[in-house]
Amino acid sequence: MIADFQGDWVLRESYTVEALEPYMGPERYTHVYPVKSIYDTGALVIGGSDWNVSTFNPFEAIQRLVTRRNAKDAEPLGADEAITAQQALDMYTVNAAKALPFKGIGTIEVGSRADIAVLSQDVLTIDPYEIEKTVSELTLLDGNAVHDTLG
């Protein structure tokens, strides 16, 4: 089983409060989008997009998975379900690769496809509220540059 979460949805917004809370009831609502709980079971947890109602930008979703809020001063949605930046990054990279039926992806080693992105900042060490500003400066697919702002 693979648990696929859209990180952009783990926010306290009208669609998660006004629509979900009355429907689920207050007790079950405290467990909405249980990313950490499922991660802690050892399950394969991946990140995706529910386009066109959520972002294609994985860094926006990663930020929300880590902070569970859309601004520092906002009330989080299920703060106890927040995960680490490493876990969130893994959801959109190595974990997602495990869900695909291809060999040679999801690792950096001899024989792998060399699908690599060079990022503008280290999402593991920056302020979590800055993660969404991250961009790919160089993207390699099968070892070939398909996006390059580095020159």
User: What pLDDT shows up at residue 4?
Assistant: 94
The four Cα atoms 99, 44, 84, 12 give a dihedral, to 10 degrees, of: 90
Beta strands in the chain (DSSP E): 2-5, 44-47, 116-119, 136-141, 144-148
Write out pLDDT tens, residues 54-89. 888 999 999 999 999 988 999 999 999 999 999 999
User: What pLDDT shows up at residue 60?
Assistant: 95
Tokens, residue 35 = 């990313």
Rg (CA), the chain: 17
- Which is higher by pLDDT, 103 or 142? 142
pTM of the model: 0.90
Q: Which residues contact 89 (CB under 8 A, 6 or more apart)?
A: 62, 123, 124
Please state, in angstroms and rounded to a whole number, the distance separating the CA atoms of residues 15 and 45: 23
Q: Taking the CB of residue 117, how many other CB atoms lie within 10 A of it? A: 15
User: What pLDDT shows up at residue 137?
Assistant: 97
Tokens, residue 47 = 């990140």
Angle value at C-alpha 31, between 11 and 51, nearest 5 degrees: 40
Write out pLDDT tens, residues 105-146. 887 788 888 889 999 999 999 999 999 999 999 999 988 999
